[in-house]
Amino acid sequence: MKAAIEGRKPRVQARVRPRIKISWTAIAFVAPAIVCFLLFKYYPLLQAVYMSFFDYKVINPPGKFVWLDNYKYLIHSSEFWNALRNTFAFFFIYFILTFWVPIVQAVLLNEIKFASKTLRSLYLLPTAVPAVAGYLLWKWLYNPDYGLLNYLLHFIGLGPYGWLNDPSMAKWSIVLPGVFATGMGMLIYYSALQGIPSENIEAAKIDGAGPWRRMRSIVFPSLKFVIGIQFISFICGVFLTFDPMYIMTGGGPASSTKTLSMLVFNSSFKEFRFGVAGSISFVMFVIIAVITYLQIKLSNKD
């Protein structure tokens, strides 16, 4: 009897591990982007770090191994510290003048129901103008002798101003065109606003919440993630900005607009000190990485 009962014991089935499904179609679409990212982002970064430990010679690479001498040179270089101060100054000016502008534009455009598609198209038109052409145009507008801005200000009794020739005004003059070039950022915020359920807005209106209360309680919390991503992109963009300074002032007057990105360009392609340029690039990477990490940590705490 005991043997019969033991013979009826249920069989223990072996655990079947779930098979991992691989979407080769998705991999085929993503692979080119990953390869390009590795080739044109990470490889140059690693190459710059490698070059920073050498007195790099293009004719006979990699040249003499100098270990940390290039970084020691930066510590004692007044030009480097001046470029670092200018870079952070541009960061704060860009933040004050440009970062919040697309948010405000998106909120206002979201409230406009008439001809909204036409207005969105008009906001995108400035992006069709090449950046270099736009900066050259602004350089002529800023001309102290026959520029349009001084000409118009003359009629109201102001000026003339040395927009790009005055160290106290040059940074602000370079950043000012960025106020009118926020089309893509505005569309990103506008798309995020379209994702907010209209029922929440209507319920807030019924409860008597005014425009500012609705912005603070519904709109801004819904945009929190997008603002965080845009801020990280903003940090990278400002620290790597090169075109406006190079075209409008060339780093002047009196090196008041020379940034780290310009210092990398000058060290490598004008002075042929590629090891120094590599060390500056690595310092820029560390600064951007630290600021980005802090921003992500602060966002996760909220």
Residue 40 has φ and ψ, to the nearest 5°, of -105, -5
Answer yes or no: are the C-beta atoms of 93 and 172 closer than 8 Å.
yes
Q: Which two tokens stand for residue 133?
A: 């052409």
What's the pLDDT at 220? 82
CA 138 to centroid of chain Cα atoms: 22
* End-to-end Cα distance, the chain: 67
User: What's the CA gap between 290 and 50, in Å, rounded?
Assistant: 21
* Distances in whole angstroms, Cα of residue 240 to Cα of each of 19, 54, 151, 260, 299: 44, 24, 33, 8, 23
**Which pTM value belongs to this model?**
0.83
DSSP 267: I
131-170 per-position pLDDT tens digit: 888 899 999 999 888 888 998 988 888 878 889 998 889 9
The mean pLDDT value for 172-183 works out to 85
CATH number at residue 180: 1.10.3720.10
12 pLDDT higher than 60: no
81-105 per-position pLDDT tens digit: 999 999 999 999 999 988 888 888 8
The mean pLDDT value for 24-51 works out to 88
How many domains does the structure of the chain reveal? 1
Asked if the structure places residue 176 within a domain, the reply is yes
Q: Where does the pLDDT of residue 11 fall: very low under 50, low under 70, confident under 90, or very high at 90 and above?
A: low
User: What's the CA gap between 173 and 163, in Å, rounded?
Assistant: 6
User: What's the CA gap between 302 and 285, in Å, rounded?
Assistant: 26
Q: Where does the pLDDT of residue 233 fall: very low under 50, low under 70, confident under 90, or very high at 90 and above?
A: confident
Q: Which two tokens stand for residue 88?
A: 């952070």
Domain interval for residue 178: 76-301
Asked if the structure places residue 25 within a domain, the reply is no
Asked if the structure places residue 290 within a domain, the reply is yes
Nearest to 132 by CA among 89, 181, 94: 181
